[in-house]
Amino acid sequence: MNVSILGLGLVAPGVEDAYRVRALPELADSRAKRMTRLERMALGAAQRALPPGMETRDLALVFATGYGGLASTADFLEGIATRGAAFGSPIAFQQSVHHSPAGQLSIMLGSHGSSLTLSAREISGESALQVATTLLGTGRAERVLVVAADEWTETLAAGYRAFDCSAAPSLGEGAAAILLGREPGPLSVERCTLTAHSCPILRYPTREQLRPLLLDGTKPGTGVDSVSLSAASVAVLEAETSVLAEVQPPLVRCLETAPFGFHASAGLLRVVAAAMHVRASPAGSACAVHGLALGGGQSLTVVRHVRA
């Protein structure tokens, strides 16, 4: 089902910030002072995606995160490890659960609609996008706000190093939001396909595994003229580039992982960036956003500038 993109929000590091968000969004509501770093990034992206004055009471929310509030999780576990179970912080525990930001977003935005949280490793954002299109397609909601956010912590960096996850060395963080609706709009999500492959849990799909979906979404006749690659590692980038060499005429390559750093929500950040790219392109232009997850997950999302 084609669904319209009605708003876009992005909180991402600048090039000079080495993939970390140095300045959190300014939030006027005094309640935001009690929110965690992850929640502040998510709320900042969400507010940027919502048109001014939009009624949000019936707005549905789908929140995605690969790892949740890692800083709060570390605080909670360190308290127990160093001082005993009686000293586990109840506040840190509450903020550590993956769905905590969704609750905070619903409160801050005044939303009483459906609220769902998804976690699917490095394609969490794309998974949330697919769920949102289902909510719209089945009539469960008229508008859905999709938000994805993940934060950088030294604990996460140490984990990737310890388990040799073959991730790009540029671990990052950020948040993205997309407002989707059933009414016509200038941009649309034309496709959001998810699949999985048999693969070791800490490795990405092979070239031959990722090839069919990537080619199917970019082949002649689809109207796709640009592509955003996962590029989660040097090996993945080489595999994606090799597959796309089969597509003629060649596609414009844009908006890979590098500008945002590698993190579990980077896929939705690239979808938002792709939507901004096609919005500035001629009507009919479309960008395919390719995503991969450790353990075999794969996604292919197509956003299009709808013809007048």
Domain boundaries, given as residue ranges, for the chain:
3-181, 187-305
The pLDDT of residue 1 is above 70:
no
CA distances from residue 165 to 237, 241, 256 in whole angstroms, order as listed: 15, 21, 19
- Please give the pLDDT value at position 268: 96
Fold of the domain spanning 3-181:
Peroxisomal Thiolase; Chain A, domain 1 (3.40.47)
The pLDDT of residue 100 is above 60:
yes
Tell me the average pLDDT across 66-77: 82
Can 3-181 and 187-305 be said to share one CATH topology?
Answer: yes
Identify any residues that bridge with 175 across adjacent strands, giving them in sequence order. Answer: 11, 149
CATH numeric code, 187-305: 3.40.47.10
The pLDDT of residue 95 is above 90:
no
The answer to whether residues 287 and 267 touch, using CB atoms and an 8 Å cutoff, is no
Q: In which band, very low, low, confident or very high, does the pLDDT at 71 lie, cut at 50, 70 and 90?
A: confident
Structure token pair of residue 53: 């004055």
Task: Considering only CA atoms, give the Rg of the chain.
Answer: 19
Tell me the average pLDDT across 14-30: 71
Angle between helices 266-279 and 124-137 (to 10 degrees): 60
Mean of the per-residue pLDDT values of the chain: 89
Of the two residues 18 and 3, the one the predictor is more confident about is 3
Predicted structure pTM score? 0.91
- Please give the pLDDT value at position 74: 75
Beta strands in 44-129 (DSSP E): 60-64, 115-118
The pLDDT of residue 16 is above 70:
no
